Chains A and B, each alone.
Chain A
Amino acid sequence: MAAITAVIPRPTSYAGIWGWLTTVDHKRIGVLYGMTALTLMLVAGIEAGVIRMQLATPDSGIIGGDRFNQMFTMHATVMVFMVIMPLSASFFNFVIPLAIGARDVAFPRLNALSYWLFLFGALLFHVSFLVDEVPDAGWFSYANLTEKPFSVNRGLDFWSLSLLVLGTSSVAAALNFVVTIINLRAPGMSLMRMPVFVWMTLITSILLVLAFPVITVGLIELTMDRNFGTNFFIPSAGGDPILWQHLFWVFGHPEVYILILPAMGIVSEVLPTFSKKPLFGYPFVVFSGIVLGMMGWAVWSHHMFTVGLGPITNSVFTITTMLIAVPTGVKIFNWIGTLWGGSIDLKTPMLFALGFIALFIIGGLSGVSHAVSPSDFQQQDTYYIVAHLHYVLFGGSIFGLFAGIYYWFPKITGRMVNETWGKINFWLLFIGMNVTFFPMHMLGMNGMPRRIYTYAEEFGWGDMNMIASLGYIVIFLGMLAFVVAMLKSLRGERAGHDPWDAPGLEWSISSPPPAYNFAEIPQVDGLDQYWIVKARAKAAGQGDVPAEAPVDPSTIHMPSPSYWPIWIAAGTTLIAGGIVSHFALSFVGGIFAVIGIIGWSNEPPAAPDPHHGSQH
């Protein structure tokens, strides 16, 4: 086998579809992550539309309860695992090597493997629609609703197995970024000279590495219960459904910070650039991020206040949950301090960053209100929670990530953002988001439970639900404006290498960056290195600093493309797919994966070099 795989040369073409399928370039993988995540966002957004259509009026019968359960389950699972996380991963990929002055990530092939696992995992998840056996137990899929007697069809198997594939992808990516950030920083870039986005990526990656194994065990136990006859979560055999809740939320609360920390990092890049002054209290922003990452492990039972864990447990988790608001508050004050006295330029990325702060404050405050366990008994499983989580995930994560899209768009594409459509995009999303989700606070306080597919007119929830559903239309128009903004910007005016006068190293090279990123690895002398460079040039009377001059790419050794990442990802996904369909498929997938691993480890280090003849 080794003899066979070793003679397969590495692909040489960087062009066309094969170039993308075999790429190991972090920039291309970042674009793939972003495009896939945005496509899935459209899918999950339409699912949200179906939900809002059904709930717009009382006693509505547009879709039945079963379909409704499927819609909110798919919407939430896709948005959390297949939109926000990969959109963050897209920025990790594109930006991190550029921001730390590296030519690629530490393990380019592993990086490609992460992407393909994500894509195939997402596809496996959506096969459930094709066979009409759709997961319908909510995004945290509480046992024992998820067990065979209550969820008869294969929906939950699709859910657990595709999440296992996606988890493998996330852990592989996170391992890569921990190593990249610790080990591939340009000379002189000490930890406390790293841009905040790099810091937040490091913390997020460490959380991913440590949190995903826990949900992996939960998912394995669920899969075994459903397919191999175990009784982990079945009370009649002594199993404890509460164990699932613990396993899920021990993962699930760090996951919340996995979702928000990248957005916080992006905002910490955007605000200084468009305020034209350095981030206020850099060490505080960094250390509050570290504290969030650590304390995120000590608050999980606030998701379980009504389970009956007892007053002492509830009190402890009330205190830790209130404490964790402190580092978040520290960050918000630092961002406001950054704005204070700055010369603020309200470009589209800045608008999204400011929108992030405003909406995240609202979401944070409603969060503190259910940190108090007696108060949470009133709010648990009501629309108040739905309002809270959308303010932090949509108003927070998505606004932060959109700030990132508009901020780095010139670097990724070499074109300027169409400001008119960007601003239309922002205002429609900002207004639509508030019109949709603010009334849900009131609905929740009035007792409307989440996850009901309809309600009687007498409850008086009709008006607020209608307002929320109209708000969805505004959000939808906002997303259309986003598509228009992107399409127009792609044909927009050419961007220079540094259109925003930004502080990060990524802006010192041309837009879009060459395959090798930096012809010469930069030497870093301080925080906000590129501002330092530009200030020095100005002091020396040299005027604008040009982009690093291009060099002949063949003089710089870059990792060659590889067939094996997509191959192994396909094999791994087949293993999972076999458990939902036929075990023979798992076997085939296993053989695929093993061949792939042998091929991977025997792959020649580089493609045959036309100048010197083949090395192997």
Chain B
Amino acid sequence: MAHTVQPSPGDHEYTTTGLSHRKLLMWVFLSSDCLFFGALIATYMVYRGQSLNGPYPVDIISVPITTISTFVLLMSSFGMVQALSATVRNDQKAIQMWLLVTAALGAVFIGFQVYEFNAFKNEGLTLGVNLFGATFFTLTGFHGAHVTVGIIWLLGLYIAARKGRIGPATSLDVELMGLYWHFVDIVWIVIFTLLYLIGGFDAGPTVLPGGSG
């Protein structure tokens, strides 16, 4: 019977599927996160065109600017792939560089988001002003929080890489980071499509809400 000994404390020597526990955990967690973003996106879609007063998306959404930040975030996934590839090759310099590049691109994306939030606030869009503000900031805010967690995680890996702890033996650490990072990117593609490309040109209330005001 093949027993492989894994060094980390949580792991036992035997797994039924041959997959590592941590990889399986990450996939199951991402399925959970799908439902989390699904519910937030559903809230946005249900309330699309339901805001009683402005600012409406058409007044403030800038598709060109966010297209740039979207491009930056998608390119960060390329950096992530390179980092994993370098880890498998045990190219220490490249590991450090690509981890840092990925984190930096993520940080640029967050910078765009901070700029955008600030600009929207100056134009009168707040959490409480209308449903668009509430749903927009909540959904993109939680996505931004995910990206931020990813950046911190990447920097943690970078520190480990500087100490020479990242290599083929620990490539799973980078692979899990990659799963999370790509997932957060894919969620952004959905958000960008729905909130900017489709919903970004919405003007005033399309359907008057039922019930008493």
Given A221-B43, A238-B47, are A231 and B134 neighbors across the interface (CB < 8 Å)? Answer: yes
Q: Which residues of A contact B40 (CB under 8 A)?
A: 217
**B19 and A228 within 8 A (CB):** no
Q: Kindly list chain A residues whose C-beta atoms are within 8 Å of the C-beta of B34.
A: 213
**Cβ-based interface call for B130 (8 A):** yes
- Tell me which residues across on chain A come within 8 A of B156, comparing CB atoms: 601
Q: For the complex, is A184 an interface residue (Cβ under 8 Å from B)?
A: yes
Contact with B along A1-41 (1 / 0, CB 8 A): 01000000000000000000000000000000000000000
Shortest Cβ gap from A28 to chain B (Å): 16
| Stretch of B21-29, B88-96, B111-119, B187-195 lying at the A interface | B21-29
Within 8 A of B (CB), among A534-560: 559-560
Instruction: Enumerate chain B residues within 8 angstroms of A213, measured Cβ to Cβ.
Output: 32-36, 38-39
Which of chain B's residues have a CB closer than 8 A to the CB of A221? 43, 134, 138
Interface string of A102-126 (1 = CB under 8 A from B): 1110111110000000000000000
> A108 contacts which chain B residues (CB < 8 A)?
9-10
Cβ distance B134 to chain A, nearest Cβ, rounded Å: 4
Interface of A is mostly: helix
CB-based contact B212/A235 at 8 Å: yes
Q: Are B35 and A237 in contact (CB under 8 A)?
A: no
The answer to whether B43 and A232 have CB atoms under 8 Å apart is yes
Binding stretch for chain B, among A134-142, A175-183, A334-342, A389-397? A175-183
Does A230 touch B at the CB level, under 8 Å? yes
Instruction: Name the residue of chain B whose CB is nearest to the CB of A172.
Output: B29
Count of interface residues, chain B, beta-carbon cutoff 8 Å:
48
Judging by beta carbons under 8 Å apart, are A224 and B134 in contact? yes
Cα separation A183 to B21 with both chains bound (whole Å): 7
B213 / chain A contacts, CB cutoff of 8 Å: 235-236
Interchain CB contact under 8 A, A178 and B28: yes
Are the CB atoms of B17 and A107 closer together than 8 Å?
no
A214 contacts chain B at the CB level, 8 A cutoff? yes
Q: Does B12 contact A (CB under 8 A)?
A: yes
Given the known inter-chain contacts A106-B21, A185-B16, A235-B209, please indicate yes or no for A209 contacting B131, CB distance below 8 A. Answer: no
Chain B hits for A237, CB < 8 A: 52, 130-131
- CA A240 – CA B44 in complex, angstroms? 12
Of A2, A106, A229, A521, the contact of B127 (CB 8 Å cutoff):
A229
Which residues of A sit under 8 angstroms from B32, Cβ to Cβ? Answer: 171, 175, 209-210, 212-213
Let me know if B15 is at the binding interface, CB within 8 A: yes
Chain A residues near B10 (CB, 8 Å)?
106-110, 559
Is B1 a contact partner of A102 (Cβ separation < 8 A)?
Answer: no
A220 within 8 A of B: yes
A216 cross-chain contacts in B, Cβ below 8 A: 36, 39
Taking a contact as CB atoms under 8 Å apart, the answer to whether B24 and A217 are in contact is no
A559's partner among B1, B9, B16, B47 (CB-CB below 8 A) is B9
Min distance, Cβ A100 to any Cβ of chain B, angstroms: 9
Minimal beta-carbon separation of A33 from chain B (angstroms): 19
Whether A183 touches B19, Cβ cut-off 8 Å, given contacts A209-B28, A559-B9, is yes
Which B residues from 116 to 162 make CB contacts under 8 A with A?
126-128, 130-131, 133-135, 138, 156, 159
Q: Is B4 part of the contact surface with A, judged by Cβ < 8 Å? A: no
The reply on B64 being an interface residue by CB < 8 A is no
Whether B12 lies near A102 (C-beta < 8 A) is yes
State A218–B40 Cα separation when bound (angstroms). 9
Chain A residues whose CB sits within 8 angstroms of the CB of B19 once the complex forms: 183
- Given known A-B contacts A179-B28, A183-B21, A243-B43, A231 and B131 have beta carbons under 8 A apart: yes
A239 in the interface (beta carbon within 8 A)? yes
A605 within 8 A of B: yes
Closest 6 CB pairs of A and B: A229-B128, A213-B36, A217-B39, A230-B134, A213-B35, A605-B9
Please list 19 pairs of residues, one from A and one from B, whose beta carbons are closer than 8 Å in the complex, sorted by A's number.
Answer: A106-B24, A109-B10, A183-B21, A189-B16, A213-B32, A216-B36, A217-B36, A217-B40, A229-B127, A231-B130, A237-B131, A238-B51, A238-B209, A240-B209, A560-B9, A601-B156, A605-B7, A605-B8, A605-B9
B residues apposed to A, CB below 8 Å: 1, 7-12, 14-17, 19, 21, 24-25, 28-29, 31-36, 38-40, 43, 46-47, 50-52, 126-128, 130-131, 133-135, 138, 156, 159, 205, 209, 211-213
Q: Given contacts A175-B32, A221-B138, A230-B128, list 7 more A-B pairs with CB under 8 A.
A: A106-B24, A175-B25, A178-B28, A218-B39, A224-B127, A235-B213, A605-B8
Residues of chain A having any CB pair with chain B under 8 Å = 2, 102-104, 106-110, 171, 175-176, 178-179, 182-185, 187, 189, 209-214, 216-218, 220-221, 224, 228-232, 235-240, 243, 247, 250, 521, 559-560, 601, 603, 605-606
